[in-house]
């Protein structure tokens, strides 16, 4: 039996269990008494005046994009790491080290440029 069937079964089982818990909680509680005041969003007791979306902070977007780029780099490092010892025992150790070193150097340059130019400032 392939392990994928086990994975999908576990995911579906957990989802079903979760929905069961939510359903049980909704049945067991006392009858809700939904008043208009109760349904308002909780903002430390002050009345809300809606969300101001005129100025959207761009730092979330920058953080996510930089995360994607560095995640891709890490994904390249993974097969390199597991094949490293094979290359070393074959005698091609310095070649494989230097090829990845150049790649990592490009990334270190990118990271230091980001830090220097304060792209990741969260004041």
Partner 1 sequence: MANNPIVFFPLAFVIAVAALGVLLASNPIFSALFLVLSMVCLGFMFLAMGAFFLGGVQLAVYAGAVTVLFVMVLMLFDLKDNANPIAKGLLSRFLKVSSIGVFVGLITGAVSLTKYYPVPVKAADPSSMESTRVLAVGLFRDYVFAFEILGVLLLVIAIGVVSVSRIKGGTHDRA
Partner 2 sequence: MDAMYIGIEIIKMVVIFLLMVQLVPILVWIERRGSAFIQNRFGPNRVGPLGLVQLLADAVKFAFKEEFIPGGSYKFLFLLAPVVALIPGVLAFAAIPLGAPFSLEPFEMFGNTWGPYDLKLQGYDYGIGIVFVLGVSSLAAYSLLMAGWGSANKYSLFGALRASAQMISYELGLGLSLVGILLLYGTFSFNEMIAIQDGPLTFMFMGKETIIPFLPNWGIFYQPLGAILFFVSVFAESNRLPFDLPEAEAELVAGYHTEYGGLKMNMFYIGEYGHMMVASALMATFYFGGYNLPFVTPEAINEMFTGMGFAFNGASLMTTLVSHLILMTKVFLFLWIFIWVRWTLPRFRYDQLMDLGWKTILPWALANTVITAFVVVLMRGA
Q: What is the 8-class DSSP label of residue 119?
A: T
The pattern of x and - marking residues 27 through 66 that bind partner 2 according to CB under 8 A reads -xxx-x-x-x-xxxxxxx---x--x-------xx--xx-x
| Residue 75 token pair | 């994904």
* CB-neighbour burial class of residue 107 (10 A; exposed 0-12, middle 13-18, buried 19+): middle
By the rule CB under 8 A, 117 interacts with partner 2:
no
Nearer to partner 2 (CB atom), residue 39 or residue 54: 39
Nearer to partner 1 (CB atom), residue 4 or residue 25: 4
In the region spanning residues 35 to 94, those forming contacts with partner 1, defined by CB under 8 A, are 51, 53, 55-58, 60-62, 64-69, 71-73, 75-76, 78-80, 82-83, 86-87, 92
DSSP secondary structure string, 23-89? HHHHHHSPPP---HHHHS--STTSPP-----SS--THHHHHHHHHHHHHHHHHHHHHHHHHHHHHHH
3-state SS class at 9: helix
Binding site for partner 1 (CB under 8 A): 2-5, 7-8, 51, 53, 55-58, 60-62, 64-69, 71-73, 75-76, 78-80, 82-83, 86-87, 92, 96, 99-100, 102-103, 106-107, 109-110, 113-114, 117, 119
């Amino acid at each position: 039996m392939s392990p994928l069937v086990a994975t999908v079964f576990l995911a579906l089982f957990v989802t079903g269990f979760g929905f069961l818990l939510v359903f049980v909680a909704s049945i067991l509680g006392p009858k809700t008494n939904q008043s208009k005041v109760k349904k308002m969003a909780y903002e430390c007791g002050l009345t809300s005046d809606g969300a101001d979306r005129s100025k959207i902070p761009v730092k979330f977007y920058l953080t996510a994009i930089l995360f994607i780029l560095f995640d891709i780099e890490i994904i390249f490092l993974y097969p390199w790491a597991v094949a490293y010892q094979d290359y070393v025992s074959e005698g091609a150790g310095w070649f494989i080290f230097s090829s990845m070193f150049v790649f990592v150097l490009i990334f270190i340059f990118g990271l230091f440029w980001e830090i220097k130019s304060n792209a990741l400032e969260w004041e």
